[in-house]
Amino acid sequence: MSVTSRDIAREIGLSQSTVSRALRGDPRVAPETLERVRAAAERLRYVPDAAARMLSSGRTQTVGVVVADILNPFYPEIVEVLHSELRHEGYATVLLNEPLGPDLASQLGGRTVDGLIVVAATLDAAFVARLPAIGIPLVLLNRYVDDADTDRVLSDNVAGGALAVEHLIGLGHRRIGLIAGPANTSTARDREQGLRAALERHDVPFDASLRREGSFTHESGYQHCSELLRLPQPPSAIVCASDVIAFGALDAAKRLGVAVPQQLSVIGYDDVAMAAWEAFALTTIRQPLTRMAKRAVRVLLERLQAAGAVAPAAPQREIFPPQLVKRETTAPPPGA
């Protein structure tokens, strides 16, 4: 016999309407009450009736998550948190590859979604402005899109780029290279902006010959680090726009016989789980990905709960501070 919201209400002495709201993730339910309902639901092995909820609410209880390269370890880490949080709230997750085409329905194979969490988008992604206009709310996570007036949850990438440079300058580096990500992404643009601003504050000229631009991939890091190390005057340190780029840079340095960090310092960005592995021990800039992902889910659920309001709430802007994580790939330059 299946467990109903009435059974849960009877179990913990609450009204059925309160329990129903809690099971739907209604943000108006007090956190303590929400936790009591969740604990009782788990104890009684409550299974939501998705079909009944869809008929009563007109929703699919499905959220689309837009990613780029799922083989990049950054995306599985953040998708795992999103999936876990959404499942806990009774939502299924559908993965979508960026860029989204003009016909979203065809990419979903005929399925519809109640909303989207967009982890990957270019600065000019047209779908970001189009979807809310047709009734599909979305939250931008990790990226933003110029002129898109929508909810966003980010880390401060400008501050993160500056943190990387401040660390290297503090060690004595002045010849600092950059392997940037794609210029059409907010993450790459903002991290480089922070890097340049920090160099300027310390009266260290930005040397364009030490800049390379590519994708957020191992191949990009390997190729561009190889180029930089073959210069007549190579950099003593390289800032990489992502940890995956940094992994490629470390492999290139190893292949060319350049010792890290004795001859070359390398710093990444994101602090994916692999960055802490002994094989890499990568110094990096940490984004609080778990906190960011959980907040993005909450913002989207609040937006779904408020759907149909006469005056929709203003878009939320949440910015989390980054943090320098010192490991074993940075040190003073040779001769310092």
**Are 253 and 293 part of one and the same domain?**
no
**Are 244 and 315 part of one and the same domain?**
no
Closest alpha carbon to 191 in 107, 285, 257, 114: 285
What CATH number is attached to the domain comprising 280? 3.40.50.2300
The domain containing residue 207 runs over which residues? 157-286
Torsion of Cα atoms, 294 then 298 then 300 then 304, to 10° = 150
> Domain for residue 253, yes or no?
yes
| Range scoring the smallest mean pLDDT among 132-146, 185-199, 226-240, 268-282 | 132-146
Q: Which two tokens stand for residue 92?
A: 């299924």
For residue 231, pLDDT beyond 80 = yes
**Are 271 and 303 part of one and the same domain?**
no
> Domain for residue 331, yes or no?
no
**Are 301 and 271 part of one and the same domain?**
no
The string of pLDDT tens digits covering residues 6-62 is 888 888 988 888 888 887 777 778 888 888 888 888 888 886 654 444 444 456 788
**Are 267 and 300 part of one and the same domain?**
no
Query: For the chain, what is the domain count?
Result: 3
Directed axis angle between helix 289-305 and helix 74-88, to 10°? 40
The string of pLDDT tens digits covering residues 108-143 is 544 578 889 999 888 888 778 777 777 788 999 999
The DSSP code sequence of 222-250 is HHHHHHHHTSSS--SEEEESSHHHHHHHH
**Alpha carbon distance 282, 57 (integer Å):** 48
What's the pTM?
0.80
